[in-house]
Structure 1
Amino acid sequence: LNFSEQHRKRIHEKIHSQDEREEDILLAIMQLLVQEKTGYELLSLLRGRGIQTFARNEGFLYTILHRLERSGWLQSSWDTAEVKYYRMTDRGRKILYKAEKSKSRRKFVLKGALEG
């Protein structure tokens, strides 16, 4: 059985994407948004951390950001060049602190964000 390079790459990506749990992705997003960033900057930094979940569906990141914003964990603003910036709110910082403090409660703490 022979696999093409492209097939091997897809298998490799699939294996890595299965290892990326939702709470780990949320935690990474929140850690990165301690300082204000654009969605594009955030996407690049997540890739730098090895998170490939958004590689083929970048729009999913914006869906998560919108849910975090609706939950009051993030806020956004537009600059004069119509670039949207995201940053964590005080409420988001408290949630991040709780999630980082207790790994066993992390899933419970972060669960509410994606359920909206």
Structure 2
Amino acid sequence: MEERLRRLGKKKLSNELMFTEQHRKNIYQAIDREQKSNEEILIATLQLLNEKRTGFELLQMLESRNIKKFINQEGALYLLLHELEQKEWIASLWMDNHLKYYYLQDKGRKVLMKAEETQLKDSPALKDLLGGDILYE
């Protein structure tokens, strides 16, 4: 196997890959399918905060749900959490282990229940319910 790797290293690869317009279109569509809407991210965040979690735990769980918005942008998650605290949808507390835990409050539970009932991810009603552009780019 090492010999094959050495031989591969000696081969010169083209600096530019040639893609047809259709290939490009397919790639962009695949990328768009992977991205979650702000409403989906917000609902997932609220669902995960049914139990007390640290920001780091929440980040890992969102990534496990294929939500990639916060990869290399962890600060954006904390901005979202702060905004949700301001709306009184979630609360936070510092524990003896010097970790800050976030959890869902009654107001957040009601919003989550209504959002899950609509089940229309991109509906204007859901966007209004969730408060519009709460997620930071």
TM-score by length of 2: 0.70
**Which of the two has higher C-alpha Rg?**
2
Matched residue, 1:75: 91
Distance 2:67 2:76 in 1: 13
2:17 is aligned with 1:2: yes
Distance 1:2 1:57 in 2: 29
Matched residue, 1:51: 67
Q: Tell me, which stretches of 5 or more residues in structure 2 are unaligned?
A: 1-15, 19-26
TM-score by length of 1: 0.82
2:112 is aligned with 1:92: no
Tell me the matched-pair count. Answer: 107
The one-letter code sitting in structure 1 at the alignment partner of 2:104 is M
Matched residue, 1:28: 44
Q: Deviation of residue 56 (structure 1)?
A: 1.5
Equivalent residue of 1:75, what SS?
Answer: strand
Q: Would the aligned equivalents of 1:75 and 1:86 in 2 still touch at CA under 8 Å?
A: yes
Structure 1 or 2: larger helix share? 1
Q: Deviation of residue 94 (structure 1)?
A: 0.3
Q: Would the aligned equivalents of 2:35 and 2:67 in 1 still touch at CA under 8 Å?
A: no
Percent of residue pairs bearing the same amino acid type: 41
Distance 1:43 1:100 in 2: 21
